[in-house]
A and B are shown apart, each in its own frame.
Chain A
Amino acid sequence: MSAFHTLKVGFHRLGSPPNFYQLATRLAPWFWVGFLITASIGLYQALYVVPPDYQQSDSYRILFIHVPSAWQALAGYAIMAVLAAIALIWRIRTTEIMAMACAPVGAAFTFICLTTGAIWGKPMWGTWWVWDARLTSMLVLLFIYLGIMGLYAAFEDRRKGARVACILVLVGVVNIPIIQFSVEWWTTLHQGSTINFFGESTMDPAMLPPLIWMTIAVKLMFTAVMLQRASLDLIDQDRRKQWVVGAIGEQS
């Protein structure tokens, strides 16, 4: 009972803009440090340590940025959807702002995934692009992210904009399982999953470490940017409030 109460109080405190701002500005640099360390290890292993693939040769090294970006584009959307649901149900403004801050970072990872996928596709498939289910549903994800950002920015009343955009976030959730299972439901040029968390992976174990490091790196980077964007949005919205004057005064 007391643990639940502590958790509840902690959650409510986090919902307070000054507390969230303070926590976000303190944590974000550490997430960036974590990103730099893990990405350095991951990139070193991806470019110097792992051997070339016996069929795709060195072109498969694109995988170490393509796959973590794709996973983060999907995970980012899932996080945004949970935050949007909390924001719509409990009307917590910081959650609303955090949900909106996820969209540009998620869009960036979707863009990386699509462009690196096209670059990888040219030498391996002989084409930059095909309208197969995986590629098309991923492109739809980019458009959904851009739509959310556009909708949020289109309203002068930021709170109203966020609420409308949160509804679009929840509608767009339908695209996530389509992306995930597109390679199973339809015949696609895009290969099926080679890494299974609950089954046997078909990827050579030697290739896994850089993939894991880069996956951790993009997660840390997503969190850092999301916190930074959310804290900035918060001071922008609350610019007339006393806590912002205090917070800015502290930093000057």
Chain B
Amino acid sequence: MIPEFEYAAYVWSSYAIFAVVIAWQAIVPFLRRRRLIAELREERAFKTGTYGDQR
């Protein structure tokens, strides 16, 4: 299933770096979005006085 390459360590480590960086780029906006929405909801709840009702 996994192809056997000459210089395999070099090839696979390059593809691993590519995968990690792409995954990082996908995860960062997702985490930021979650944090931002939680902050905004908290702010809104604090303003409207429904703080205890959230979650």
| Chain A residues within CB distance 8 Å of chain B | 32, 43, 47-48, 52, 57-59, 61-62, 65-66, 69, 104-105, 108, 111-112, 115-116, 119-120, 122-123, 221, 225, 228-229, 232, 235-236, 239, 244-245, 248, 251-252
Select the residue from B6, B14, B44 with max chain A CB neighbours within 10 A. B14
User: Which residues of B lie under 8 Å from residue A47 when comparing CB positions?
Assistant: 3, 15
- Closest A residue to B13 by CB, please name it: A119
In the complex, the number of residue pairs spanning A and B with C-beta atoms less than 8 Å apart equals 82
Instruction: Say whether B5 contacts A58, CB under 8 Å.
Output: yes
Instruction: Say whether B43 contacts A112, CB under 8 Å.
Output: no
Instruction: Say whether B14 contacts A120, CB under 8 Å.
Output: yes
Instruction: Say whether A65 contacts B15, CB under 8 Å.
Output: yes
* Cα of A235 to Cα of B8 in the assembled complex, Å: 45
Chain B nearest CB: distance from A215 CB in Å?
A: 13
User: Which residues of B lie under 8 Å from residue A57 when comparing CB positions?
Assistant: 5-7
Q: Which of A65, A120, A239 contacts B40 (CB 8 A)?
A: A239
* Cα of A57 to Cα of B5 in the assembled complex, Å: 8
Instruction: Say whether A59 contacts B10, CB under 8 Å.
Output: yes
